[in-house]
Structure 1
Amino acid sequence: MKWSEISIQTTNEAVEPISNILHEAGASGVVIEDPLELEKEREDQFGEIYQLDPLDYPDEGVIVKAYLPVNSFVAETTDGIIQSIKNLESYHIDIGKNVVKITEVQEEDWATAWKQYYNSVKISEKFTIVPSWEDYERVNTDELIIELDPGMAFGTGTHPTTVMCLQSLERYVKEGDHVVDVGTGSGVLSIGAALLGAKKVTALDLDEVAVKAAQENIELNQVQDIVSVSKNNLLDGIHEQVDVVVANILAEVILSFTDEVAQVVKPGGYFISSGIIGQKKDLVKSAVAGAGFEIEETLLMEDWVAIIGKKK
């Protein structure tokens, strides 16, 4: 399906009435690009990283965008929008430059264009991540293939935090282990643990969309007999002693449940934690050690950290 993107460069004063005009013309929502966003201070609640590109914002005023389906009436509709915006001046509303641009967009581009940047990649001695739509020939008999269809909501399995977790699982998971994957997302770590010989893998995520995506990827890799996935808040309700807990989540979340991890992991078992930005490294190491783990390794990749602790 084709869509017509209408972009209006205007003023903050005119944003609300222009948004109303666009809604009445049939747009289901609007996008507002306001350079004041670059100056906002944001609360860092869960270790989020905000990186806004000034090039995405106008030098002057505000840009309001909306999308209309391309049909036989779209020219009339856009002409009506342009005239209605011009008429705002009669109500003494400053519409600024009022630069209007109209471009055509293919819906397919939004849904699938990202796939061209996602290719098979070897991320460790054993693991290769392969997109589900790509034909891939195994290079050697020891290679472990994880097929992944992340959709647009989850990573491709090649982010540094995921890579470090898979490399750590490769070193610490033994045949017959029980592994718990907290915040499973696409399910890539659970699949990796199963391929390494874990007897049982418990995949948990608070997000229902993640649970569905993980289940699909688990079935795609034919490890559903080993991996069970369910909606769950961290380790709530998990009382069974396990060999490995892996959590590729945010540092603030890791800090909030290290004691619960210590209760679940067997003596001699491992806690693999990642998703940690560099400046949080010492905080997480201290919390992991304080919960009763000896720090076995601290891995660094780009600006990210993974910490592996062994239960005393």
Structure 2
Amino acid sequence: MTEWKEFSVSINNDASEPVSAIFDALGSAGVSITDRNDFLTLPGSSTGELWELDEANFPQDGVIIKGYFTEFDNLEQIESELNTRILKLKDFGIPIDGYSLDVKDVVEEEWAHAWKKYYHPVSITRFMTVVPQWEEYKPQFIDERVCYLDPGLAFGTGTHPTTQLCIQALETTVRKGDTVFDVGTGSGVLSIVSALYGAETIKAYDLDEIAVKSARDNIKLNNLQDTIEVSTSNLLQGIEGKADIIVANILAEIIMLFVEDAYGKLNDGGLFITSGIIADKKDQIIEECIKHKFEIIQVNQMKDWVAIIAKKEDKDVS
């Protein structure tokens, strides 16, 4: 097992990027920046549902920048050079208020699980809670659904605004017996919640093989292998059959590429739910949907992110 040295620099915010560059120049295997302001913008951080702030790790002022070196590096020289270069930042007009340097041993195995202490159940809606697989959780309501995830590969943990917007949209649109196509499934979270909301057949697609494996693992974790089928695909290319709902939580630029395909793959009256859309891209997606004969049913926004629910023409309605 490799042993590592963690060099931890406490310093003011203005020195964050220069210190990170110094770590890179010295050959650090990785650099992390702990900034209290970043923590406070995470979904759930204000309520304590998702992240649990440790005051020792999140200073009131300044940042903590960490670099990592192995036992095979010249650690004494690295420590001396790191200290020298940081002190010289003053010569370039960069303040180093609050500067301190701490060095400690880190065992590689500890990293694999250390982040888990910050991850907790998060209530996305009144009826849906996302729970990390290692947490014990008792539903608070008789009709509450629980989606279990292993977020280790970071393909979507249900906490980002775009994912929450999609889950909220699915809660109001999925009907028992529906067929759902999940394009760009990532962790599989949207497929899983679709099944929990009553969808009968779910087909999940992703171009990334690692994402496909992550989705399959999470689907198995929720015992939904018989309901959800995961496969590798580039958007909807070569996909057979039609769906009642197509959901895609991916970048706006990617959504633009398959709006027409989505229309063709929906049953009459079917819904196209899209997110991953930054607010200033909203009008582009709406225009593209209207261009391909979708009716815009709903546009929802959370922070700077948008989700759009569009409907295919229902030919049975005169």
The normalised TM-score by structure 1 is 0.73
Residue 78 of structure 1: aligned partner:
75
Residue 101 (structure 1) shift: 5.8
Q: C-alpha distance in 2, partners of 1:303/1:97?
A: 39
SS at match of 1:122: strand
Residue 231 of structure 2: aligned partner:
230
Gaps of 5+ in 1: 34-54, 58-62, 87-93
Residue 79 (structure 1) shift: 3.7
Q: C-alpha distance in 2, partners of 1:244/1:283?
A: 21
Written as runs of structure 1 = structure 2, the 5 A alignment for 1:1-312 is 2-5=3-6, 29=29, 66-69=68-71, 77-79=74-76, 97=88, 103-106=103-106, 107-108=108-109, 110-312=111-313
- 1:177 touches 1:198 (CA, 8 Å); kept in 2? yes
Q: C-alpha distance in 1, partners of 2:290/2:130?
A: 32
Give percent identity, aligned residues only: 46
Residue 122 (structure 1) shift: 1.7
Name the amino acid aligned to 2:265. Answer: V
Aligned length: 262
- 1:184 touches 1:210 (CA, 8 Å); kept in 2? yes
- 1:149 touches 1:217 (CA, 8 Å); kept in 2? yes
The normalised TM-score by structure 2 is 0.72
- 1:5 touches 1:66 (CA, 8 Å); kept in 2? yes
SS at match of 2:155: coil
Residue 60 of structure 1: aligned partner:
none
Name the amino acid aligned to 1:78. Answer: L
Structure 2 vs 1, CA of residues 282 and 216 (structure 1 numbering), >3 Å: closer, same or farther?
A: same
Residue 173 (structure 1) shift: 1.1
Q: C-alpha distance in 1, partners of 2:170/2:153?
A: 25
Residue 224 (structure 1) shift: 0.5
Q: C-alpha distance in 2, partners of 1:105/1:282?
A: 51
Name the amino acid aligned to 2:70. Answer: L
Q: C-alpha distance in 2, partners of 1:299/1:138?
A: 27
- Between Structure 1 and Structure 2, whose CA radius of gyration is higher? 1
Residue 152 (structure 1) shift: 4.2
Residue 36 of structure 1: aligned partner:
none
Gaps of 5+ in 2: 10-14, 34-61, 90-98, 314-318
Deviations along 1:91-118, whole A, 9 cap, x unmatched? Answer: xxx9994999672252455433332222
Residue 82 (structure 1) shift: 7.2
Name the amino acid aligned to 1:262. Answer: Y
Q: C-alpha distance in 2, partners of 1:139/1:231?
A: 36
Residue 49 of structure 1: aligned partner:
none
Q: C-alpha distance in 2, partners of 1:220/1:282?
A: 38
SS at match of 1:151: helix
Residue 96 of structure 2: aligned partner:
none
Structure 2 vs 1, CA of residues 180 and 97 (structure 1 numbering), >3 Å: closer, same or farther?
A: same
SS at match of 1:139: coil
What CA RMSD, in Å, does the superposition of the two structures yield over aligned residues?
A: 3.3
Structure 2 vs 1, CA of residues 284 and 6 (structure 1 numbering), >3 Å: closer, same or farther?
A: same
Deviations along 1:200-255, whole A, 9 cap, x unmatched? Answer: 10011111111111101000000100101111111111131111100000011111
- 1:202 touches 1:228 (CA, 8 Å); kept in 2? yes
- 1:118 touches 1:156 (CA, 8 Å); kept in 2? no
Name the amino acid aligned to 2:229. Answer: S
SS at match of 1:154: coil
Q: C-alpha distance in 1, partners of 2:225/2:32?
A: 44
Q: C-alpha distance in 2, partners of 1:296/1:180?
A: 19
Residue 259 (structure 1) shift: 0.7
